[in-house]
Every structure is written in C-alpha cells, then in structure tokens.
Structure 1
C-alpha cells in the first residue's frame, strides 16, 4: 500500500507539471515555423544628373599695337578694349571721365575701334594714339596712368577732337568735387587734373599780357559750393581754344549766382583756368 500510495500521490504532481508546461508553451507564442524573409529588392535610386560646370569660355585676345617706349599705354587701352568686346555693358560705368552720351556714341563701332588699335601706337605730346581705317583712338596720360584707359574715338586727322560737351563735363566734375559728391571716388585733382597747369600764358582776352591761370593760384575759389544746376549749363566758344561755361551755383549759405568758368585745352583735355 505504501508503494501504491506514493504512485497515487505522484500522479497528480506530474499532471500539474505537464499542464503547466503546456500552458507556458501556449503563452510564450514560440512559432512553429520561421516566417519567410522579405526577399523583395529595394527600389533602385535615381541616377544623379551630371552637374559638372563647363569651363568658362576663353577671353578673346584683343590685339593692341605696341607703343615704342610706353608699354603701359597698350596694356591700359587693352584692358578697356577687352571689356568693350566681352562685357560692353560695364564700360559706361568704368569710363566716367567721359560724358556718358559721348562715350556711348564713340564706342558704338567695335570693329572699327579694334581695327585702329591693331596698328602701331604713336606717342604724342599729350596723348597716345592708334590710327587705322580712317579712325583714331586717343588716350590721355592720366588715363594710361590709371591702368584702364578710356579713349576718345574720332576721325583720323582731327586736330581738335574735344567738344563743348567735354568742357561742360569737366565743369560738372569739378563742381561735383567741390560740393562733396564727385562723379567717382577716384576723381581727384591729383589723379585726374582739371585745373589748367599753366604751361602756356593764360590770355583768353588776347591782351598779350597773359600769365598763370587764376584758378591755379586759387583752386578753392568755389570751395563753398553746395549745389549747381547742370541742366542750365551753357557753353560759349571764345578766342582760340578758350571756351566759357556759365552755370548757376548755390553756395553753403543758400545763395545762387551764375558763375562763368573759362576753360582751355591742356594735356588732359579741357581744363579750368578762371572763375568770374
């Protein structure tokens, strides 16, 4: 009975253990089969476009004839001519030493200009020039010194190619300096002289007793300028190379008076010599 009793007692225990094992398997959720792996391939990435930047176009080589003894002149006008060919829209702003309308007119025929520049340059008394095809391209020494020479373009054989527009623009530049608003920050008397140097006697009236230009002796005669009426400016041809420009000028006190400024042609074109 003892053996039978032990077997009777063990049977319920075994049954409980087996039942617990079955319950644990049911709760663990252990799969009986492995889930198939997703073998579908990922979508192919889009092919990136070619973003390689093409090399810049080569800058045209503008041919400028050599100037014996003055290589800087050819270099300075070549810088301008290269812009005229490759970036013409930038030229007016860089050539602020010329009246804007005049520059636009003189620089219109690029082919003719390049044809003239291809000839040897000639050193003159006050300017360097290239002539070809009936056209002359002339640059002043102050333009050469700047490294970017904005020339005058005029018919070959023209002795006096400066015009009243040049004289009026010289007055505009001078008065703009005096009023504290130069047409360009680089426009100073040292770099771009506008006052006549007095290389020849100043004698606009033809008295034969000329001396130095009065404005050279007193360059600050218009230093009190606050404003001027450029639109009311008028030019009157005088004796020889002399020319008078009349313009209303307002000083710092607010008073306005018409000034007569007498100019002549000097090494850098029209220069101012007297104010009355």
Structure 2
C-alpha cells in the first residue's frame, strides 16, 4: 500500500484516540481549575485560630455566719472552712486532719443543713463556740478557732455527748504519730493542738474519790521512743463516765512490741489522754 493510503488509515485512528481522551477527561472529573474553598472548613479554621481571652474567676460566695458577741475570730475561722466546703469541698479533708477522716466525711455531707445552722447567732460556750438551726449544731473548739481555719463537729441539735470512741482512738493515733516522729500533720503539736488532759478536774478513772492530776501531764514522755504502733489493732473500752481505755500494740526503739493501755477522758478539746499503762 502506498504512503497516501497509510496516511489515510492513520488519520481516523488518531481522531478516535483524541476523541476518547476528551471523553475520559469529561467523565473522570479531572479539574481544569482550582476547586472553590469550603466555607464551613474556612470558618472552622478561623475559629480555631482565634485566641479566646481567659475569663476572670467568678466572685467567691460569701458564706453567712451568725455573729458571736465578743468573739469575731470564731466567725472568721469557721467561715474560712465553710467557704471551702461550698466552693472547694475536695480540699476540706486534707485541711481537717484534726478529725477522723471517715467521721468528717459523714458529718460534712449535708452542706445545706450546715449553712442553715451557721446562719444563726453563735453561742460562746465554756470550751467551744456553736451555731444551731434547723435541728443541726455546728461546734468549733478553741484550738480550731486559734488556727484560723476551724474544722467543726457537726451533730444533731441537743446532743450532749457527741464525742465517740472513734474520736478517742484518733486522739491516740495522733499522739503516737507525734511520738514516732511522723505526725498526721506537721502543724500537729501539743502547743497548738493539746491532746494531754489539762487536769482541770481530778483524774479518777477508778472512781476512788482520791483523784489528782493526770499522770501523763506529769510525765508526757512516757511513750518517747515509740517507733511504730498498730492503729488497725486499736480497741476502745468504756470505763466509767467520760473515761475510756484504748489498747494498742506499740513498738519501741529496741524493737519490742507491747500492748499499751491509754486512758482518756473528755476535756476542753475533746478526748484527751491522761494515763498510759
């Protein structure tokens, strides 16, 4: 076949290929120019890039505490605690280390009842300041008031003996923790938070009628040299009246473990230690 014939055959083939190429381009969606920007994505990116100015903290709620004539320090100290109870309740357990942890959690559970009581006028008693309202009483000891942050006892109104064996055992725990060099809190000292009975009344757990000063007041170092004690093995036994015995295994510097009997009574700051045998 001559050259002219071959060219005649090739031309239609090229035309078909070119036509197919155009058809494929139109069906495959190959862009011939840039796609328009997605307005939603653009606005989202702009929002993410925008830096929002931090919001200032809201005002701290002012907890209403009834006045205590002649004792404004009590009002300030319990308000500091109550404000945390309302705004930062998770910080209260660590700050109220003077109370048994489980007891504090239980007594501080009803915030509304506590605030209702605190809103009433306070009464400055012999050993504590208290507020009562709605069937609830909030009582703070003088050592708590002096600290500036008063962790109170909360109990039903009219309750006279609101200290429990748990309080007595915790007093022994705190005392032995001090003696072993690991106080429950570094602020827990005898000067700031007395645990030894002051001897305001005759020490007479046996009821002989011949009571005197608490032996531990005369010899506060009777448990010096304590290195460890078994808090989980404590047992509390009522003696008579406000007196109560707590038995606890105590280990001294020589490694000897002996069960000690600690006799307690109720004093100005709750349960206090008076004798160790």
Aligned twin of 1:94: 95
Aligned twin of 2:276: 275
Runs of 4+ in structure 1 over 4 Å off: none
Quote how far apart the aligned CAs of 1:238 are: 1.1
1:155-166 alignment to 2 at 5 Å? 155-166=156-167
1:145-171 CA-partner distances (Å, limit 9, x unpaired): 000000000000011110000000000
Give the TM-score, by structure 1 length.
Answer: 0.83
**SS of equivalent to 1:130:** strand
CA distance in 1, matches of 2:144, 2:232: 27
Aligned twin of 2:217: 216
1:124 aligns with 2:125: yes
Q: Considering only CA atoms, is the larger Rg found in Structure 1 or Structure 2?
A: 1
1:62-211 alignment to 2 at 5 Å? 62-211=63-212
Quote how far apart the aligned CAs of 1:67 are: 0.4
Give the TM-score, by structure 2 length.
Answer: 0.83
Aligned length: 232
Aligned twin of 1:239: 240
**SS of equivalent to 2:240:** coil
CA distance in 1, matches of 2:108, 2:55: 32
RMSD after superposition:
1.1
1:77-125 CA-partner distances (Å, limit 9, x unpaired): 0000000000000000000000000000000000000000000000000
CA distance in 2, matches of 1:275, 1:165: 18
CA distance in 2, matches of 1:218, 1:179: 17
Structure 2: which 5+ residue stretches go unaligned? 1-45
CA distance in 2, matches of 1:107, 1:158: 17
CA distance in 1, matches of 2:260, 2:56: 57
**SS of equivalent to 1:263:** strand
CA distance in 2, matches of 1:236, 1:70: 37
Aligned twin of 2:18: none
Structure 1: which 5+ residue stretches go unaligned? 1-45
